Amino acid sequence: MDIDDITDGTLRNYVDGEWTPIDGDDGADVVNPATGETLGHVPFTPPGSVADVVSAGDAAFETWRNRAIEDRIQPLFRLKSLLEEHQEDIARVLVTEHGKNLNEARGELRRGIENVEVACGAPRLMQDGFLENAAPEIDEMAVRRPLGTFAAITPFNFPGMIPLWFLPYAVATGNSFVLKPSEQDPLTAQYLFHLIDEAGFPDGVVNLVHGGPDTVNALLENEDLAGASFVGSTPVARHVYETAARTGMRVQAQGGAKNYVVVSDSADLEYAAAKTVSSSFACGGERCLANDIAVVVGDAYEPFVEAVLDVVDDQVVGDGLDPDTDIGALISPGHAERVADLIDAGVEDGNELLRDGRGVTVDGYEEGTFIGPTVFGEVDTDSRIAQEEIFGPVLGIARADDFDEAVRKLNGTDFGNAASLFTARGGEAREFRNRADVGNIGVNVGTAAPMAFFHFGGRKDSFFGDLHAQAEDVVRFYTDETVYIERWPDV
Ligand code: NAD
């Protein structure tokens, strides 16, 4: 299917098993960032209509929660097959509305499918404890029970994968689910829901609601909603966490990031450079796991910078659908402007501009929101480009006298999403694991992205809550642990 098959130009919600027109005055155009072409219009669901979506979920929940778990996972097996079958077409839609390159879109969808696979293990993931003779003649067991209807509010940068960090686990554990995807690239979710429709979930179990901040706030203020999962920027994550908690629902909110990579003087510098460039610039740097500040120890600085520039100079900027493209368009003109402003700030703060991606143009794509790979050297880690999330193709390289100073620098931001170390010394790796104050740690790995059978970490201003996305953590988030205590006296 292509875009014309999934929408007639105006997007609809999917509620209670039906494609439903959205009766709202607000909305946004969905634009191909490489060409500037308008792909469709997404109306925003008015706050007053949100309660109906939650009610549809709650009505379906009454039956769904008591279906045998083997029955509940069958639509997920079908969804996995459908996702595999449509992967290439979904990837093209994703590239067209997001800008990243086709291989990155394929990789993202693979990561999403892996979450569906892991959720199919719910019969094992949901099992809990049983203890005979917990007290004289008393047996105790703990049971995980679903809670109702959950919502997930997701960001623009992984429109195919991030909804699947949540959706399959929520429904496999017996809950109903509402997805509110990013209004910047909602077509991928629209496609996903065509497959959900085909996969055979009972009406009302899985729902799609388009919208902007007002729609989100109506969900968070809905007292019937059992909980909300959020992924996006830190200020909104904090707002979601506070608002949902005030309403009294469960909440997990993943925020923004500023990830550092430490390059030890023992590291294989060409390998470290290649992996760092890939981590920084893949998806145009629009990744919460992008390592965009490298802190290099001692004499390794000069050869590392040289190796980085060698790789950077081979990067091709262009339309994500072009197989030669490494770095695609950024999501919007507004975002590209913000990235360019931060590059300006990097220069003003006295950092050394080694490669400048501002003003890059791509022949035939004059309306595209492109920024080329940008590299700063001699970075002051107190400056804005080393402290603020840029979310663009910008890498900063800083010096440290020793490993200890490098680790202190990486821990000196407000964020705690990810960090990597390149080293040949086991002792450094061990110390790094212990001291790096982040949730996802890579050693000789450029991008510390956990597989679906591990949770996705994050702390400090990168995460608000306690149970994370993916795997066992999210199963706990979506279930309440009830304890049964039994004694059977003789009668
Ligand atoms: P965003 O915070 O602007 O939007 C995320 C979602 O929140 C969207 O669905 C949007 O409609 C909604 N939203 C936006 N403003 C709102 C408001 N004022 N009130 C209520 N809802 C609101 O984020 P984005 O620009 O779409 O995504 C990029 C951000 O997401 C980056 O900061 C990135 O680091 C972060 N991110 C984090 C992770 C992680 O795992 N920690 C993963 C991916 C992206």
The string of pLDDT tens digits covering residues 442-475 is: 999 999 999 999 999 999 999 999 999 999 999 9
User: Do 202 and 179 share a structural domain?
Assistant: yes
Residue 170, ligand 1, Cβ within 6 A? no
Find the length of the chain. 491
What's the gap in Å between 345 CA and the centre of ligand 1?
23
Q: What is the CATH number of the domain that holds 338?
A: 3.40.309.10
Closest of 447, 464, 438 to residue 230, by C-alpha: 464
Output the pLDDT for position 297: 98
Ligand 1 atom nearest the C-alpha of 254 is 41
Q: pLDDT for 339-359, tens place per residue?
A: 999 999 999 999 999 999 999
| pLDDT average, residue stretch 481-488 | 96
Output the pLDDT for position 376: 98
User: Do 347 and 303 share a structural domain?
Assistant: yes
Residue 456, ligand 1, Cβ within 6 A? yes
In a domain, 217, yes or no: yes
Long-range CB contacts for residues 459-462, cutoff 8 Å, separation at least 24? 459/416, 460/414, 460/415, 460/416, 461/234, 461/238, 461/255, 461/256, 461/414, 461/415, 461/416, 462/234, 462/254, 462/255, 462/256, 462/257, 462/288, 462/415, 462/416, 462/417, 462/438
What's the gap in Å between 62 CA and the centre of ligand 1?
31
In a domain, 96, yes or no: yes
Residue 252, ligand 1, Cβ within 6 A? no
Count of structural domains within the chain: 2
* pLDDT, the chain, mean: 97
Beta sheet of 394-400, edge-to-edge order = 352-355, 374-377, 394-400, 291-297, 259-263, 418-422, 440-443
| pLDDT average, residue stretch 34-58 | 98
Tell the residue nearest (CA) to atom 19 of ligand 1. Answer: 213
| pLDDT average, residue stretch 27-34 | 98
Tell the residue nearest (CA) to atom 14 of ligand 1. Answer: 213
Q: pLDDT for 257-279, tens place per residue?
A: 999 999 999 999 999 999 999 99
User: Do 9 and 96 share a structural domain?
Assistant: yes
CA angle 127, 129, 130 (to 5 degrees): 120
| pLDDT average, residue stretch 389-416 | 98
Query: Per the structure block, which two tokens stand in for 371?
Result: 């920024």
Tell the residue nearest (CA) to atom 22 of ligand 1. Answer: 213
User: Do 240 and 162 share a structural domain?
Assistant: yes
Query: Per the structure block, which two tokens stand in for 10?
Result: 């105006």
Q: What percent of the chain has pLDDT over 70?
A: 100
Residue 417, ligand 1, Cβ within 6 A? yes
163/165 Cα distance (integer angstroms): 5
Residue 241, ligand 1, Cβ within 6 A? no
Residue 216, ligand 1, Cβ within 6 A? yes
CB burial string 40-54: b at 16+ within 10 A, e below? bebbbbbbebbbbbb
Residue 154, ligand 1, Cβ within 6 A? yes
What's the gap in Å between 234 CA and the centre of ligand 1?
8
What's the gap in Å between 53 CA and the centre of ligand 1?
22
Ligand 1 atom nearest the C-alpha of 234 is 32
pLDDT confidence bin for 303, thresholds 50/70/90 = very high
User: Do 187 and 93 share a structural domain?
Assistant: yes
User: Do 300 and 173 share a structural domain?
Assistant: no
Q: pLDDT for 310-342, tens place per residue?
A: 999 999 999 999 999 999 999 999 999 999 999
What's the gap in Å between 39 CA and the centre of ligand 1?
22
In a domain, 455, yes or no: no
User: Do 183 and 40 share a structural domain?
Assistant: yes
Output the pLDDT for position 30: 98
User: Do 299 and 176 share a structural domain?
Assistant: no
Residue 157, ligand 1, Cβ within 6 A? yes
Residue whose CB lies within 8 A of the most ligand 1 atoms, among 97, 111, 157, for a mutation test: 157
Q: pLDDT for 136-191, tens place per residue?
A: 999 999 999 999 999 999 999 999 999 999 999 999 999 999 999 999 999 999 99
Query: Per the structure block, which two tokens stand in for 202?
Result: 């009972």
* Domain interval for residue 298: 259-443
User: Do 230 and 280 share a structural domain?
Assistant: no
Active site residues: 288
- Count Cβ atoms below 10 Å from residue 352 Cβ, excluding itself: 14
User: Do 287 and 238 share a structural domain?
Assistant: no
In a domain, 491, yes or no: no
Q: What is the CATH number of the domain that holds 67?
A: 3.40.605.10
Tell the residue nearest (CA) to atom 39 of ligand 1. Answer: 254
* Three state DSSP letters for the chain: CCHHHHCCCECCEEECCEEECCCCCCEEEEECCCCCCEEEEEECCCHHHHHHHHHHHHHHHHHHCCCCHHHHHHHHHHHHHHHHHHHHHHHHHHHHHHCCCHHHHHHHHHHHHHHHHHHCCHHHHCCCCEEEEEECCEEEEEEEEECCEEEEECCCCCCCCHHHHCHHHHHHCCCEEEEECCCCCCHHHHHHHHHHHHHCCCCCCEEECCCCHHHHHHHHCCCCCCEEEEECCHHHHHHHHHHHHHHCCEEEEECCCCEEEEECCCCCHHHHHHHHHHHHHHHHHCCCCCEEEEEEEHHHHHHHHHHHHHHHCCCCECCCCCCCCCECCCCCHHHHHHHHHHHHHHHHCCCEEEECCCCCCCCCCCCCCCCCCEEEECCCCCCHHHHCCCCCCEEEEEEECCHHHHHHHHCCCCEECEEEEECCCHHHHHHHHHHCCCCEEEECCCCCCCCCCCCECCEECCEECCCCECHHHHHHHCEEEEEEEEECCCC
Tell the residue nearest (CA) to atom 23 of ligand 1. Answer: 232
User: Do 164 and 21 share a structural domain?
Assistant: yes
Whether pLDDT at 111 is above 90? yes
In a domain, 169, yes or no: yes
Whether pLDDT at 129 is above 90? yes
Ligand 1 atom nearest the C-alpha of 458 is 41
Q: pLDDT for 63-99, tens place per residue?
A: 999 999 999 999 999 999 999 999 999 999 999 999 9
Whether pLDDT at 17 is above 90? yes
Residue 243, ligand 1, Cβ within 6 A? no
Residue 185, ligand 1, Cβ within 6 A? no
User: Do 334 and 234 share a structural domain?
Assistant: no
The answer to whether the beta carbons of residues 18 and 187 sit under 8 Å apart is: no
Residue type (1 letter), 256: G
Residue 153, ligand 1, Cβ within 6 A? yes
**CB-count burial class (<10 Å; 0-12, 13-18, 19+) for 445:** middle
What's the gap in Å between 113 CA and the centre of ligand 1?
22
Output the pLDDT for position 294: 98
In a domain, 357, yes or no: yes
Query: Per the structure block, which two tokens stand in for 98?
Result: 């997001």
Tell the residue nearest (CA) to atom 24 of ligand 1. Answer: 155
Ligand 1 atom nearest the C-alpha of 155 is 26
What's the gap in Å between 257 CA and the centre of ligand 1?
11
Query: Per the structure block, which two tokens stand in for 111?
Result: 């990561």
Residue type (1 letter), 10: T
pLDDT confidence bin for 24, thresholds 50/70/90 = confident
The answer to whether the beta carbons of residues 137 and 487 sit under 8 Å apart is: yes
In a domain, 450, yes or no: no
In a domain, 457, yes or no: no
